[in-house]
Amino acid sequence: MEKMKVLAEWSYDPAKPFRGYTGKTLKVNVGDMTFESKDVSEDMKFKFTGGRGFGLKLLWDSVKDTTKWNDPENEIVISGGPLCGVTQYPGMGKFYAVFVSPLTDQTYDSNAGGHFGPLLKFAGWDAIEIQGKAQNDVVVVVDADAKKVQILESPFDDVNAYTVTEAIHEYYGDPKDINDRRFVSVVTSGQAAENTFWGCLNSSFWDSHRKTARLKQAGRGGGGTILRDKKIAALVVKTHDLSGTANNPADVDTLTRLGAKLHKEIITLDAKQCRMRTAGTSHLNEIMNEYHLLPTMNYKFGQHPDADKIHSKIYEKMFTQGISDGCWYGCTMACAKAVDGFELKTGPWKGRKITVDGPEYETAASFGPNVGVYDPAWTTETNFYADHYGFDTISAGTGIAFVCECYELGLINKENTNGLELNFGNKDDIMELIHRMASGKDEFARMVGQGVHRMKDLFAEKFGADRNVMERIGMEGQGIEVSEYVPKESVAQWGGFFLTLKGPQHDEAWLIFMDRVNKQLPTFEDKAEALHYFPNFRTWFSLVGLCKLPWNDIEPADNATKYPPQEAARVPEHVQNYVDIFNAVTGQNITKEDLIHQAERVYNFQRVFQLRLGKGTRKFHNIPDRALGPVWADEWEARAEYYDNELKAGGVDPAGLSSQEKCDRLQKIRREQWEKLVDTVYRRRGWDKNGIPTVKKLKELGMDIPEVVAVVEKHAKPEDQWKD
Amino acid sequence: MIVVNGEPMEWKEGMTVRDVINEKRYVFPLLAVWIDNSSVPRDHFATTPVPDGANVQIIHMISGG
Ligand code: SF4
């Protein structure tokens, strides 16, 4: 690669982390080519903790109430959090990216593994804010070894992720030692991010075993679209200041002791529990199918006889075994599986043999049964191109599933799709659509890439498609596509997806088993309690830089015998580990209750942030009919006995009703349940009837920051306050 | 008759915890079982009998996403 030309440069003295924080954040404006260092105050740590919390705070300070995703003041803020970079305990290398999303026009947060988060901190920064828009493509480099931050002219004509990432690792690595490339990490996106709203952020790590760069994704929300809108080809961090104690923790012995215990647990129990070390999250494929939760043909069904063809045993054989596939050092869970020597059959790299990261469960489902395909090799190819072109496999899979159903219902036709036959299962034409989405040259593909929310408008306006039908079957909430679980059987999971801060992603609460199978949440109050606790608990992971998987995808051997059922499901020993690790790193002395309070501060702040941007009220907590229950007769008939019983439980005798009439009656019952759920959850969260946090709640949390209170007071109405 | 997660299920002579799990098609690996509020270790599922009239809880240990 030719030498990159320096456009702007700034020198700094990298701050060493102390107790998990460097105390500094970096702001780079690629528009006016400026750099700024900001101090992290104790108050900022108390209120926002780190990670996503820092991201939201810095974004709040930088945008206006009217900021849209492609305004220059919009930012991508990346921050790992105080525990990010710990190597003694599994799953501690995540970063969280925060931005105003092109899909939802409100804040979004998305996380990725890889080494960018930890290396950024060890390069001296608790967070990096990227603002402005460059005129031509640039590369932003934080080089702690050289004590410089630079904006460089990008040499890349091809901005796709693997092209850029491999070249950058090579450029910054020592030519005499190929594994020196591990001290570099790169965030990229790709050409699909320029032409769709589904752009993902790829975060790299150098795989010293395979001698290649690997990519993990902050897939959701369109962060990659913003990266490319800012004309950034790559964000690079480089530092050799990397060690197991680089965080300068208060009590390294506790970290080592807790880590050793979990490593042992994983190594001895994983093969009997979730098989994460050999199958990754693909172990969920057959489980979700068995429980009618595997999205099949745009979530019409949750199960299919061909699901055997995507069984995790098949993926397990495709994945290279025997290599420690952790996406950060010390992760014995090692679920970042990869397919090596995979020969591509289509697209610009046709014929090349490459390493594919994944597929993980979400991709196996989205570019699998959800689009009617049961072919792991095809799914693997879509996975590769999604990463390389830079788009989110969840949104794209759910989005294309919607397109397929529209096509099969005759709402759009072959003329509209520019010759593609987009029936479920038509692999070749779906693959062609993916390539067209990346190229941006085909008008229909460009419409698809704007997401389900906008497709409904575009298909109605341009093709005369029935708007009402599309509203019923379009699996999106707040503008973003639903992730890969069928929610229609669990009232609590309606909330887990659709009463979220940012839209239907499974990183707030996954309650389907608790609610539907275990029957642990019989009342609306029980469901609301779970929809308070779990979203906050999961938010905490995003504040400190953790991966969630080592929390409950492995459990101590005696977990189920030591605790009563309700408690056991929270894996108390692992929760206590997190409390102890937080204290061991930061030197603080929090309890497990404090952990929820830390999260609740940020959770409510983000809710007010959405309000400030013109969202964040009840009307944006919308749920499509397809998420509530069967919409069409064939969905009902696939599980007729089950749904008949559901109808009876709702007080309606199904005898004499047609399947379509039954669907309509059940929808009515469930819509009423939904409204009741919304009320109960809002109350439990300390929000008013319109879903706005009350000033009282903000005061309780210590988040009565004047400008936050001002936003609430501007929007809260007396008639929306609860009477008692 | 036994009750499994709040729902009635027919009891059969010699029925074990594993039989109940299989009949319910509970394939999730992280299951925890309580019979009349006493926990049953996972490696005893195949050998633990379920008495007639028992209240069985089979908890799928996944809760947060
Ligand atoms: S559990 Fe998997 S995704 Fe999480 S940190 Fe470990 S390897 Fe990465």
Smallest Cβ distance to A560: which of B25, B61, B65? B61
Q: Show the domain range for B12.
A: 2-60
CA A80 – ligand 1 centroid, Å: 15
pLDDT tens, A526-548?
999 999 999 999 999 999 999 99
Residue A99's pLDDT is 98
Q: Is the peptide bond before A249 cis (omega within 30 degrees of 0)?
A: no
Q: And the tokens for A300?
A: 């019409």
Whether A118 is in the pocket of ligand 1, judged by its Cβ within 6 Å, is: no
CB contact under 8 A, B28 and A287: yes
pLDDT tens, B29-62?
889 999 998 999 988 999 999 999 999 999 998 7
Residue B43 lies in a domain: yes
CB contact under 8 A, B61 and A552: yes
- pLDDT: which is higher, B21 or A565: B21
The pLDDT mean for chain B works out to 92
Which site among A517, A559, A562, A566 would you substitute to test the B interface, given the most B Cβ atoms closer than 10 Å to its Cβ? A517
**Average confidence (pLDDT) over A118-140:** 98
DSSP string, A235-256: EEEE-S---TTTT--S-HHHHH
Residue nearest to atom 8 of ligand 1 (CA): A327
In chain A, the domains with their CATH numbers are 6-238 (3.60.9.10), 275-481 (1.10.569.10), 491-720 (1.10.599.10)
For A210-224, A228-242, A394-408, B31-45, which range has the lowest pLDDT when averaged over its residues?
Answer: B31-45
Residue B26 lies in a domain: yes
Give the count of alpha carbons within 13 A of A487, CB side only: 31
- Interchain CB contact of B27 with A (< 8 Å): yes
pLDDT tens, A262-293?
999 999 999 999 999 999 999 999 999 999 99
CA A197 – ligand 1 centroid, Å: 26
Q: How many domains are there within chain B?
A: 1
Q: Tokens 């010759």 label which residue?
A: A419
Q: And the tokens for A9?
A: 């440069």
CB atoms within 10 A of CB A596: 17
At residue B65, does pLDDT exceed 70?
no
The pLDDT mean for chain A works out to 97
pLDDT tens, A699-709?
999 999 999 99
At residue A651, does pLDDT exceed 60?
yes
Whether A293 is in the pocket of ligand 1, judged by its Cβ within 6 Å, is: no
**Average confidence (pLDDT) over A64-80:** 98
Residue A612's pLDDT is 98
Residue A526's pLDDT is 96
Q: And the tokens for A509?
A: 């609460």
Residue A138's pLDDT is 98
Q: How confident is the model at residue B63 (pLDDT cuts 50, 70, 90)?
A: low
Q: How confident is the model at residue A570 (pLDDT cuts 50, 70, 90)?
A: confident
At residue A333, does pLDDT exceed 70?
yes
Give the helix/strand (H/E) hosting A191. Answer: helix A191-195
Residue A276's pLDDT is 93
**A183 and A163 Cβ atoms separated by less than 8 Å:** no
- CB neighbour list of residue A112: distance below 8 Å, 6 or more residues apart: A94, A95, A97, A201, A202, A203, A216, A217, A218, A219
Smallest Cβ distance to B61: which of A519, A522, A569? A569
Which DSSP state fits A15? P
At residue A508, does pLDDT exceed 70?
yes
Residue B38 lies in a domain: yes
Q: How far is CA A195 from CA A74, A444, A698, in A?
A: 19, 12, 40
What b/e readout covers A179-201, taking b as 16+ CB neighbours within 10 angstroms?
eebbbbbbbbbbbbbbbbbbbbb
pLDDT tens, A382-426?
999 999 999 999 999 999 999 999 999 999 999 999 999 999 999
Task: Give the integer Cα–Cα distance in Å for A381 and A383.
Answer: 5
∠ Cα A113 A271 B56 (to 5°): 110
Residue B7 lies in a domain: yes
For A375-384, A562-571, A582-591, which range has the lowest pLDDT when averaged over its residues?
Answer: A562-571
Q: What is the CATH number of the domain that holds B44?
A: 3.10.20.30
> What angle separates helix A524-544 from helix A52-62, to the nearest 10 degrees?
80
At residue A561, does pLDDT exceed 90?
no
What b/e readout covers A663-698, taking b as 16+ CB neighbours within 10 angstroms?
bebbbebbeeebeebbebbbbbbbbbbbbbbbeebb
At residue A349, does pLDDT exceed 90?
yes
> What angle separates helix A393-408 from helix A427-439, to the nearest 10 degrees?
120
Residue A478's pLDDT is 98
**A276 and A332 Cβ atoms separated by less than 8 Å:** no
Largest pairwise CA distance in chain B: 38
**Average confidence (pLDDT) over A565-569:** 82
Residue A500: what are its φ and ψ, rounded to 5°?
-95, 170
User: What are the chain B neighbours of A538 within 8 Å (beta carbons)?
Assistant: 64-65
CB contact under 8 A, A560 and B32: yes
Residue A358's pLDDT is 85
At residue A139, does pLDDT exceed 70?
yes
Find, among A152, A69, A52, the residue nearest to A110 by Cα: A52
Give the residues across from A142 on adjacent strands.
Answer: A149, A237
Residue A566's pLDDT is 78
Residue A324's pLDDT is 86
Out of A203, A214, A327, A328, mutate this one to test ligand 1's pocket (max ligand atoms within 8 Å of CB): namely A327
3-state SS assignment for residue A552? helix
Residue nearest to atom 2 of ligand 1 (CA): A335
Shortest CA gap A445–chain B (Å)? 32
Task: Give the integer Cα–Cα distance in Å for A487 and A469.
Answer: 19
Task: Give the integer Cα–Cα distance in Å for A388 and A547.
Answer: 23
Give the helix/strand (H/E) hosting A315. Answer: helix A312-318
Residue B47 lies in a domain: yes
At residue A586, does pLDDT exceed 70?
yes
Residue B64's pLDDT is 56
Give the helix/strand (H/E) hosting A312. Answer: helix A312-318
Residue A564's pLDDT is 86
CB atoms within 10 A of CB A655: 7
Residue B22 lies in a domain: yes
Residue A319's pLDDT is 97
3-state SS assignment for residue A58? helix
Task: Give the integer Cα–Cα distance in Å for A452 and A673.
Answer: 25
